[in-house]
Structure 1
Amino acid sequence: MNKLSTIHLHTNYSDGVNKAYEYIEEAIRLRLKSIGISDHSPVPFNSTWAMKKEDLSKYIAELDYLKRTYKKHISVYAGMELDYIQGYNIKKYIDFDNLNLDYFIGSVHYIYSEITDSYGTADNSQEEVEKLISNGFNNNGVLFYKKYYQTVQEMIKEYDPIMIAHIDVLEKRNRNYELFNPDTEEYKNQIENTLNCINKSCVEVNTGAMAKNIDVMYPSKYILKQCFKKKIPVSVNSDCHFISGLQYGYDKAKDTLLDIGYTHIFEYDGKFIKKEL
């Protein structure tokens, strides 16, 4: 796929390997027209993969510097993957309105369990996700995915982001139906309810797991078919954490979208622009 832009990637400010300028130079080499840096937002508790709050001002300043430095070669946009966490106001925590970001992506990783009064992440290791379901949801995968999609629905309504990241990221550890059965009407109803919350957001087609040798693309083909029926726009992004993954899996994403019936995707260059597949 001849993509002109990518806006979901992570640098060493959060859980990425490379520095922001390295992604930008790789994007120039690949002849991209624009690139957006979108590190994980700080969260109000210990996290191994979120940006540290004390690094936030440095992050913004560095991206502003890189915009100016590379403006003759590529458009650079300052973004953020803004986590939604039940019980916390992340926007207030990071003084979001005064950051002057160009865009942000909405996502859900953390799921709250009333049973344990604690949070777990939906895309953690297989062992940790199974432990979360066992301890936090009475070993019931249905309760787990219902809570996840309830949280995603809240995120969409509260954030109304330009793009919803990896909308079914909980499928990462469910490739062989280890956690729950996504073919049931009960699961499909959760998808229907979630997609019905979308106002103007694009749904991200995310190839990030594939670059880590996990054979899953978000969202599932079933969800993409429902998006197509509802005329929900999509945007393909790699969610990469190292520069070699900047355009990983895009041909597979293109083939999947064409097979479903999509003829266009949306790419970001200051705003989302419709582009033929």
Structure 2
Amino acid sequence: MLLTNYHMHCHYCDGKGSPQDMIASAKEKGFQSVGFSSHAPLPFENDFCMLQENLESYLKDIMAVKDDSDIQVYMGLEIDYIHELTKPSDEKWQKLGLDYCIGSVHTLAAPNEQYPMLSVDGPHDEFMTLLNEVYQGNAQEMIEVYYQRVAQLCESGGFDILAHYDLVKKHNKALNFFDEQAQWYQEIAISTLDTVAKSGVILEVNYGGMLRGATDDVYPSPWILKEALKRNIPVQINADAHAPHHLAVHHDKCREILLDVGYTHHRVLLDGQWQDVEL
């Protein structure tokens, strides 16, 4: 399988290792094409995004690595969708000259000013505040809002790759706060795929949860990938690497999952163009 990865973080955000460290690891492991996608700055304090004052340095550093590398390197950002606050299609991101963008939903707005933005995949205490204090323990309501935000992200556009589709399940292995086989959950997860299909974006198969031991399978779950295939949604294998050693760890497993689901190709960025290559 042609090794590629376009969801990759470095020390400019919550990753570890320099861009040069990440590229050295990619070359050692036989990657032919990679892209950097550090978390774009957000307009409030948080512990996972790069600072606004470091954005220009990030872009210059990635360009330098891109020019010096003998493997294909692309410059991107992972940009959050936060309802009525920020989205990948905002002009400030579109004018940066990026090779691609990843769109993601990490946080949900609290219904009042008592809480700041809280992350569905954040630390345990933060997530428990979101679930129990903001949504009064109503997991279904919280999850429905999450998928509404994913749909709104896709409708707003401005990005190429949809990140970790069912990220809201990250804490479910430890907390068992909802049943992934429940009819209400499957209906909303599947119906949101219709919006993904209309948008034309790539659905990534992300093994970041497996890397960190939070999940036993990929984002999205294989049963969701089966529904994605029915809708002809293109897919792409990504590590969501936050350190050099994360690259390639579960690429083969993701390939096996996709082949088992029925996919034969995944969509990658090669020679400056998105193209479908065999798994």
Letter in 2 for 1:211: L
CA–CA distance in 2 between the matches of 1:233 and 1:190? 20
Q: Does 1:156 align with 2:183?
A: no
SS in 2 for 1:265: strand
SS in 1 for 2:141: helix
CA shift in 2, pair 1:8/1:219, >3 Å: same
Contact 1:130 1:179 in 2 (8 A): no
CA–CA distance in 2 between the matches of 1:125 and 1:97? 31
> Partner of 2:274 in structure 1?
272
> What are the ranges of 5 or more consecutive residues in structure 2 without an aligned counterpart?
none
1:85 aligns with one of 66, 82, 97: 82
CA–CA distance in 2 between the matches of 1:180 and 1:17? 32
Using structure 1 for the length normalisation, give the TM-score. Answer: 0.93
> Partner of 1:129 in structure 2?
127
Contact 1:175 1:216 in 2 (8 A): no
SS in 2 for 1:219: coil
> Partner of 1:200 in structure 2?
200
Cα deviation 1:27-58 (Å, max 9, x = unaligned)? 12222221100000100000111010000011
Matches within 5 A, 1:106-255: 106-115=103-112, 116=114, 118-175=116-173, 178-198=176-196, 199-214=199-214, 215-255=216-256
> Partner of 1:48 in structure 2?
47
More displaced 10-residue stretch of structure 1: 100-109 or 117-126: 117-126
CA shift in 2, pair 1:90/1:231, >3 Å: closer
SS in 2 for 1:131: helix
Percentage of identical aligned residues: 31
Contact 1:22 1:243 in 2 (8 A): yes
Letter in 2 for 1:183: Q
Deviation at 1:119, TM superposition (A): 1.8
> Partner of 1:32 in structure 2?
31
Contact 1:208 1:248 in 2 (8 A): no
CA–CA distance in 2 between the matches of 1:249 and 1:5? 12
How many pairs were matched up? 274
More displaced 10-residue stretch of structure 1: 115-124 or 132-141: 115-124
> Partner of 2:59 in structure 1?
60
CA–CA distance in 2 between the matches of 1:92 and 1:229? 27
Deviation at 1:128, TM superposition (A): 2.5
CA–CA distance in 2 between the matches of 1:64 and 1:259? 38
> Partner of 1:260 in structure 2?
261
Deviation at 1:171, TM superposition (A): 0.8
Deviation at 1:271, TM superposition (A): 2.6
Contact 1:141 1:180 in 2 (8 A): yes
More displaced 10-residue stretch of structure 1: 181-190 or 14-23: 181-190
CA–CA distance in 2 between the matches of 1:3 and 1:130? 40
> Partner of 1:22 in structure 2?
21
More displaced 10-residue stretch of structure 1: 217-226 or 92-101: 92-101
Deviation at 1:126, TM superposition (A): 3.1
Contact 2:202 2:234 in 1 (8 A): yes
Contact 1:85 1:111 in 2 (8 A): yes
> Partner of 2:6 in structure 1?
7
> What are the ranges of 5 or more consecutive residues in structure 1 without an aligned counterpart?
none
CA shift in 2, pair 1:121/1:79, >3 Å: same
CA–CA distance in 1 between the matches of 2:204 and 2:23? 21
RMSD: 1.8
Deviation at 1:176, TM superposition (A): 5.9
CA–CA distance in 2 between the matches of 1:33 and 1:216? 25
Using structure 2 for the length normalisation, give the TM-score. Answer: 0.93
Contact 2:202 2:235 in 1 (8 A): yes
Letter in 1 for 2:261: I
SS in 1 for 2:173: coil
Contact 2:34 2:72 in 1 (8 A): yes
Letter in 1 for 2:82: I
